[in-house]
Homo-oligomer: A and B are copies of this chain.
Amino acid sequence: MALQVAEMLSTYPKDLGDIDQSRLATCIEECLRCAQACTACADACLSEDMVAELTKCIRTDLDCADICGTTARVLSRHTGYDANLTRAVLEACAQACKACGDECERHSKQHEHCAVCAQACRDCERACRELISTLG
């Protein structure tokens, strides 16, 4: 099942301004994907026998899930657009994805959920940075 982010974007009744719509849609999708992966990874870590070695990973997962979820919401709004706020939120999101991607990568050989989650974090970090680079 695909998300329908681009379809919803196309129904917006006013001018979307000069934001790159393709990168915007990709970034929203990557944020949702990463948020879900991080929520599931935190829970999978909780069920590992070696949970005591994964507590920092769980914490970065939880932060990253919260920040990606909020970023997806902010990016889904266009009314009264504020480029400075968008940039600050994307910077925080890229930072959260970097921290979580690095931490999950450390466990990716042992735990498949960390490997999948690390990739989602890398993809989301890149999408955030690519969108930032297009902001005026």
Contacts and interface: CB of A to CB of B under 8 A. Distances in A.
B73 A66 contact: yes
A55 B70 contact: no
Contact of A13 (B44, B52, B60, B73): B44
B70 A70 contact: yes
Interface string A22-53: 00001011101100110111111011110110
A57 to B, nearest CB: 8
Interface in A88-128: 88-89, 91-92, 95-96, 99, 103, 111-113, 116-117, 120
Given A51-B51, A82-B99, 10 more contacts: A1-B26, A1-B30, A8-B36, A8-B113, A8-B117, A39-B72, A62-B73, A67-B70, A84-B99, A88-B92
Interface of A: 1-5, 7-9, 11-14, 26, 28-30, 32-33, 36-37, 39-44, 46-49, 51-52, 55-60, 62-63, 65-67, 69-70, 72-74, 76-80, 82, 84-85, 88-89, 91-92, 95-96, 99, 103, 111-113, 116-117, 120
